[in-house]
Amino acid sequence: MGRKGFYYDQTVCIGCRTCQVACKNKNQLEVGTLFRQVHTFETGSFPNARVYHYAATCNHCENPACVAVCPNAAMFIDETDGTVQHDDTKCIGCEYCVKACPYGVPQYIESKSKTHKCDACYQLRAIGEQPACVAGCPMRALEFGEIDELRAKHPDAVNQIAALPDASETNPSVAISAKEYALTQEGKKVLV
């Protein structure tokens, strides 16, 4: 079985934050804690101003920085599907993962004195359901599955956009269809 990850179609996302709310509800998160966050960006200037959204969560990276720095193996790569998981029983609340993740994904939950993050709704997937964010999206801008299959299904998708750190750091398991691309000096497509 290959690595699993998310596909996000920015071209249909309306920024409604339903995915964010569905995730927060499913995980019963406290006020101020989000495992999926929708960010809105503005580009250009009048009369060519534009707005786009990015629904960010754990990228379930191939080389996750959070796993590399965890002193107690609480952050780990699941061998069955390649997602990055968190073991609460091993977490000592040191927040090394919070500081190491270039995407700012792990969240320290003060009431539990532990960190946690998106687990791609591991329990829902175990009973054949989709992650809460995917099921909740009214525009069907999110998909979850084998990352190689998602990339093949959406061949124009990229794993690097201007709003994200350099993908070569962690090799994120994401595929993003975006509205406007430009080439970097290295010849990579990135979102303007």
Indicate the SS3 state at residue 158: strand
- Alpha carbon distance 27, 124 (integer Å): 11
Q: What local confidence, expressed as pLDDT, does residue 5 receive?
A: 96
Mean pLDDT confidence for 37-46? 88
- Asked if 101 and 91 count as a contact pair (C-beta separation under 8 A), the reply is no
Distances in Å between the alpha carbon of 64 and those of 2, 61, 84?
A: 16, 5, 8
pLDDT > 60? residue 182? no
> With 50 as the cut, is the pLDDT of residue 71 above it?
yes
Q: Which residues, in sequence order, are CB contacts of 45 under 8 Å at separation 6+?
A: none
Work out the average pLDDT over 105-122. 96
Q: What is the pLDDT of residue 114?
A: 96
Cβ atoms of 184 and 162 closer than 8 Å:
no
Q: Report the alpha-carbon distance of residue 167 to residue 158 in Å, rounded.
A: 10
Q: Which phi-psi region, left, alpha or beta, contains residue 171 (left: φ > 0; alpha: ψ -120 to 50)? A: left
Pairing of strands 181-183, 189-191: antiparallel
Give the confidence band of 96 by pLDDT, cuts at 50, 70, 90: very high
Task: Scan for tokens 């580009």, then name that residue.
Answer: 43
Q: Tokens 């080389």 — which residue? A: 63
Q: In angstroms, rounded to a whole number, what is the distance separating the alpha carbons of residues 105 and 40?
A: 17
The whole-angstrom separation of Cα 87 and Cα 78 is 11
Q: What percent of the chain has pLDDT over 90?
A: 74
Task: Give the mean model confidence (pLDDT) for residues 141-148.
Answer: 96
Residue type, 112: K
Q: What is the largest CA-CA distance in the chain?
A: 54
Mean pLDDT value of segment 32-48: 90
pLDDT at position 121, please? Answer: 98
Looking at residues 132-136, what average pLDDT do you find? 98
The CA distance from 15 to 40, in Å, is 7
- Mean pLDDT confidence for 109-134: 96
pLDDT over threshold 90, residue 185:
no
More confident residue, 161 or 165: 165
Nearest to 101 by CA among 114, 87, 116: 116
- What are the pLDDT digits (tens) for 16-37? 999 999 999 999 999 999 999 9
User: Which of 51-65, 92-106, 150-164, 171-185 has the least mean pLDDT?
Assistant: 171-185
